[in-house]
A = this chain, B = another copy of it.
């Protein structure tokens, strides 16, 4: 219970600012002094609370992974859906998860590219495995019911799923940067893009899974 109240207000403030700066400018291009300035705390507070810059990044990761793990559990415990509904729900979960936590995923995608070991590597690897298991479960369910093809590739599908969502956001960001529109319009376009992505991902996956043609 008290385990949950792990971080006090100041710590959360530091972590929130750190996440934003890490995601927007990169971990290495963000100095502890940058974080301290924006979070309006002394530079020494980061070492005091988190030990080091590395550990701060780790804390940010752990924080979000907790949330993500519980989201996975929720979807895993859902039953009584049709095979296509299950796929649809998984896509919804991924799109929502990535849309709601854009900053974190931008950071994760960036840092994941250069990790070779350590706690962050292990966390990301674990998440990749869980992603795959989730997709696998839904696919096997549809295959058991005889509505999905038997020659689909789960590794491929989980790559498409996460890769498409991330790329869609990255492309949208590039398109909107430097465009002279209000923040409101920007958010509207982003939202439209997300909904289009959601709809078409579902259609594409169902088409792929149920495609009757020979290869």
Contacts and interface: CB of A to CB of B under 8 A. Distances in A.
Interface string A181-215: 00000000000010011011101110110010101
A117 interface: yes
Interface in A110-128: 110, 112-114, 116-117, 121, 124-125, 128
A114 B203 contact: no
B171 A167 contact: no
Contacts of A117: 177-178
B207 A204 contact: yes
B114 A109 contact: no
Contacts of A171: 128, 155, 158-159
Nearest to A208: B204
Contacts of A25: 114
A166 interface: yes
Contact of A164 (B24, B28, B164): B164
Given A109-B113, A155-B193, 4 more contacts: A156-B197, A159-B171, A160-B164, A203-B211
- Top 5 nearest A-B pairs by Cβ distance? A163-B167, A28-B28, A163-B163, A207-B207, A159-B168
